[in-house]
């Protein structure tokens, strides 16, 4: 068992209208989330591009905790406030301790947020006892995130990102709930086969570790720019957006001539 120790921003949403307000603002079906359960969700601009990608947990009756990458709580908070007119909703922004357990997990975890993820659990609370498991470094956690094809706010996700391009719509949006802000673009792109101009991909190489912003080429033309990079025992892993013209490519070339593999992630698998 290993664990990463960090922080995540948490927006607490409560009040008599909390559930109904969130239902009209975020992409996930709030009514389908039971107390103690979590789901990933998007909150979008009216035009359908991403303001934030986060996890929503129903922590009680009319009480929700929305956790997002550290440094992005203010953005999520501001977006939630934007359409809060004559509703009984209260918001509070906090920074919570975050433990990401991978592999074997502790038998009992007592925290407001205990979310099952691939190969482990994420635990969040205002205060957490320091873990006794082997600790992961920032680089190790980044490599694990990239290996899982998980985009991050500020790296793969920004106010210019179309949700479908990041491959996170299937897990983050409901197509059966009622309307929510930004839904039109999500539905339109889905109806057209999610054929976005770029698509998120994972890149893997065994040469020198590249840098964020480095270009990847296919047939002599730059087709992607790396957005996250992490070293591994066998080389390196990265995420980046691949142009539609090279969507079926399985290998590419870095500027130093090294060959890299290209793998589909998320909704594109």
Kindly report, residue by residue over 126-162, the tens digit of the pLDDT.
999 988 889 999 999 999 999 999 999 999 999 999 9
Say if residue 170 is in the same domain as residue 203.
Answer: no
Burial grade of 198 (CB within 10 A; 0-12, 13-18, 19 or more): buried
Task: Tell me 121's DSSP state.
Answer: E
Q: Identify which has the larger pLDDT, 161 or 1.
A: 161
> Model-level pTM greater than 0.95?
yes
When pLDDT is cut at 50, 70 and 90, the band that residue 108 belongs to is confident
Does 146 fall in a domain? no
Segment 82-104, tens digit of pLDDT: 999 999 999 999 999 999 999 98
Whether 180 and 121 map to the same domain: the answer is yes
pLDDT value at residue 236: 99
**Residues spanned by the domain of 28:** 2-130+162-188
pLDDT given at position 1:
87
User: In CATH, what number is assigned to the domain containing residue 245?
Assistant: 2.40.30.110
pLDDT of the residue at 105: 82
Domain count, the chain: 2
Residues of the chain with pLDDT > 90, as a percent, come to: 95
Q: What's the Rg (C-alpha) of the chain?
A: 19
Domain co-membership, 48 together with 101: yes
CATH number of the domain that residue 183 is part of: 3.30.1360.120
Same domain, 178 and 226: no
Burial degree of 258 (CB within 10 A; 0-12, 13-18, 19+): middle
106, pLDDT greater than 90: no
User: Please, are residues 37 and 114 in contact by the beta-carbon 8 Å criterion?
Assistant: no
- Shared domain for 20 and 93, answered yes or no, is yes
Token pair for 209 = 């570790």
């Amino acid at each position: 068992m290993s664990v990463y120790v960090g922080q995540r921003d948490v927006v607490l949403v409560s009040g008599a209208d909390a559930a109904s307000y969130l239902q009209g603002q975020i992409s996930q079906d709030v009514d389908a989330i039971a107390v103690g359960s979590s789901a990933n969700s998007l909150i979008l601009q009216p035009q359908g591009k991403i303001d934030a990608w986060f996890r929503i947990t129903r922590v009680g009756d009319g009480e929700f905790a929305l956790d997002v990458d550290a440094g992005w709580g203010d953005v999520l908070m501001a977006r939630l406030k934007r359409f809060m007119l004559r509703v009984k909703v209260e918001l509070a922004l906090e920074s919570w301790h975050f433990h990401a357990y991978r592999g074997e997990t502790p038998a009992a975890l007592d925290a407001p947020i205990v979310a099952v993820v691939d190969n482990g659990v994420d635990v969040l609370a205002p205060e957490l006892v320091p873990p006794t498991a082997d600790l992961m470094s920032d680089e190790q956690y980044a490599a694990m995130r990239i290996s899982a094809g998980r985009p991050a706010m500020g790296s793969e996700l920004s106010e210019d990102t179309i949700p479908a391009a990041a491959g996170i719509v299937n897990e983050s949006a409901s197509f059966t709930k009622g309307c929510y802000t930004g839904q039109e673009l999500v539905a339109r792109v889905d109806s057209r086969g999610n054929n976005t101009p770029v698509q998120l991909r994972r890149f893997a190489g065994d040469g020198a570790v590249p840098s964020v912003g480095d270009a990847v080429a296919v047939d002599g033309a730059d087709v992607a720019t790396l957005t996250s990079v992490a070293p591994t025992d066998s080389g390196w892993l990265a995420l980046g957006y691949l142009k539609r013209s090279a969507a079926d490519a399985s290998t590419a070339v870095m500027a130093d001539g090294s060959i890299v593999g290209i793998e589909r992630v998320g909704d594109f698998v």
